[in-house]
Amino acid sequence: MLVTASSRVRQDIGASTDKDKSLPNLPQAHLNTCSFARFSRINDIALGAFHGRKTVFEMLKAAYAAADYVNQEISAGEPDDSRCLCTPQQRRENAHSCHLCGDPEICANLQYTEFFSTRVCDPCAEDIGKSQFGGLTLKDMLRRQLLLERRRTRKNFDVDAREKQIIDAIEQIFAVGPLPTPDITKRPVNVQDIYFKLRRDHKAWKRGQGLQPFGPTIEAIRQWLHFIDISTGQEDIGVHVPGNIGFLAFWANVAKSDTICGIFSVIHDLLQPNIGIAKVRQLMTRVREIWIVTIKDSFTKRARVHNNGNMSQADRDIRQKEWQSGRQVPLKPGTKQPWMRYVDSNTALERTNYVSKPNDWEPPEHTRKLARDIVTNHRNQGVNVRYSTIDPDCPWIGDPESMPEQWSWWYAWLLFGSRLFRMWIWCNGKWILIETIETIYRKFIIHLFRGYCR
């Protein structure tokens, strides 16, 4: 998390901004966490300096010093304490920053929530309830997706008209089928899951109880779709658009992310009991093919929409075939469309937030030694292990036939560093972080070989 002045403040004091990079840069401090509670303490100190009639530079100096102190707490493993230490009298007089929006609020008016152990103002508490789908209908979820898509793609479409067109399209689909048309404006509602032969309802969405894995959410079936926008009469392209909307369980929506839907059938086959190594290899090859087809489209909605807006109908048909089959259509001679490039496993691996290796970087020696010991032990039990061609002592963490050519200690460091970051920020937000990149790598390789031995 970055601690610095806002663009407006930087502009007022003549410092570099996003629009004008020629001006002197303002110092920045990096906070080694995304904890709202820790950041609010820095915000309180900066606001205190402001109310004490300090200059902007004195405010920033105080904020940077507070950030250093918080980073020392994090390094020492001290837990984040969101509880207030004000006396009853101070609670009626003192103001603190809301842990979410950052606005000052009287201490007595802030309420504690289990959302990352935060103390928040009333409007943010209400937003937290909605973000946990406490009172949302499927129509509310749809509108939220449309508002986000308009902002992220920077396409200024009419949200109300787009929402009505999607709802009308849903009603037309159910009008010709045996199932009753769901009223997505009410709760609870019972809808058909588009990928599983199951009905979903959100009776389980209860305020304050968090996200329920089997409740329905809005799903974009394809990566993008061309359609006729009724409000303008023109052809347009988007993600959450008429003809591309379905309902999917929350757990599956999160697990799939932007991957094409064929991944579910492969996972189903992988989870079957008593499948041999030959079948596992065949299915892992399918996983790679599906992933490669997926990353031919950009991760961001804005890039997907703007890169594919002028695609010909013939090229759209090819892309549809790839989504449906999960396999790349062979390139035609002279093809120049960037989306039709042939993507291999090395390109797929590089999508894992690749950063160039520093010249002086070396993997920790104790991790290399431990990996050698684990591999040697399991090789004696008949496990086939493949090593990197770049770093001869770096074992590949999967099926030998699937190892990318560029696999190395540095790629392993990036891969498990990305995993650590996700666990730290999204899964473990309010607890002390005790894992490291090395411990996650060791656990992974041990579990992998245990699976082979079974």
User: What is the per-residue pLDDT across 205-230, written as a single tens digit (0 to 9) for each?
Assistant: 544 444 567 778 888 888 888 889 88
User: What is the per-residue pLDDT across 410-446, written as a single tens digit (0 to 9) for each?
Assistant: 888 888 887 887 777 666 655 667 788 888 888 887 7
- The per-residue pLDDT for 188 is 65
Exposure string of 282-292, with b = 16+ CB inside 10 Å and e = fewer, is: ebbebbebbbb
Averaged pLDDT, 149-158: 84
To which H or E segment does residue 192 belong? strand 190-192
To which H or E segment does residue 319 belong? helix 313-325
- The per-residue pLDDT for 301 is 81
Residue 260 token pair: 């094409």
Residue 42 token pair: 């820095």
How far apart CA 333 and CA 155 sit, in angstroms, is 34
Averaged pLDDT, 401-408: 78
Q: State how beta strands 95-97 and 104-106 pair.
A: antiparallel
What 3-state DSSP class applies to 293? helix
DSSP 226-248: EEEETTTTEEEEESS-TTSEEEE
Whether omega for the bond prior to residue 188 falls within 30 degrees of 0, making it cis, is yes
- In this structure, the number of other CB atoms found within 10 A of the CB of residue 129 comes to 17
DSSP 11-43: HHTT---SS-TTSPPPP-EE-S---HHHHHHHH
Average pLDDT, whole number, for the chain?
A: 76
DSSP 8-state code for residue 424: I
Which has the closest alpha carbon to 421: 436, 406, 400? 436
What 3-state DSSP class applies to 170? helix
Which has the closest alpha carbon to 349: 284, 286, 402? 402
How far apart CA 257 and CA 300 sit, in angstroms, is 12
Averaged pLDDT, 254-272: 85
Residue where the block lists tokens 């990566």: 223
8 Å CB contact between 119 and 82: yes
DSSP 8-state code for residue 199: E
Sketch the domain layout of the chain as residue ranges. 2-131, 132-256, 263-300+309-343, 365-453
Percent of the chain with pLDDT over 70: 76
Residue type, 344: D
- The per-residue pLDDT for 39 is 75
Percent of the chain with pLDDT over 90: 0
Band of residue 346 on the pLDDT scale cut at 50, 70, 90 = very low
Q: Sign (positive/negative) of CA torsion 131, 133, 138, 140?
A: negative
Averaged pLDDT, 76-80: 65
How far apart CA 214 and CA 196 sit, in angstroms, is 12
Band of residue 339 on the pLDDT scale cut at 50, 70, 90 = very low
Kindly list the distances between the CA atom of residue 449 and the CA atoms of 128, 244, 385, 437, 454, in Å, as whole numbers in the listed order. 42, 41, 9, 19, 9
Which residue would you say has higher pLDDT here, 377 or 415? 415
Kindly list the distances between the CA atom of residue 344 and the CA atoms of 316, 328, 348, 410, in Å, as whole numbers in the listed order. 21, 10, 6, 19
Distance linking the first and last C-alpha atoms of the chain: 43
Contacts of 141 (CB under 8 A, 6+ apart): 133, 217, 218
Lowest mean pLDDT among 60-74, 259-273, 322-336: 322-336
How far apart CA 110 and CA 270 sit, in angstroms, is 48
How far apart CA 121 and CA 107 sit, in angstroms, is 9
Q: Sign (positive/negative) of CA torsion 408, 411, 417, 422?
A: negative
User: What is the per-residue pLDDT across 96-134, written as a single tens digit (0 to 9) for each?
Assistant: 888 777 778 888 888 876 555 677 888 777 766 555 545
Residue 323 token pair: 């989504």
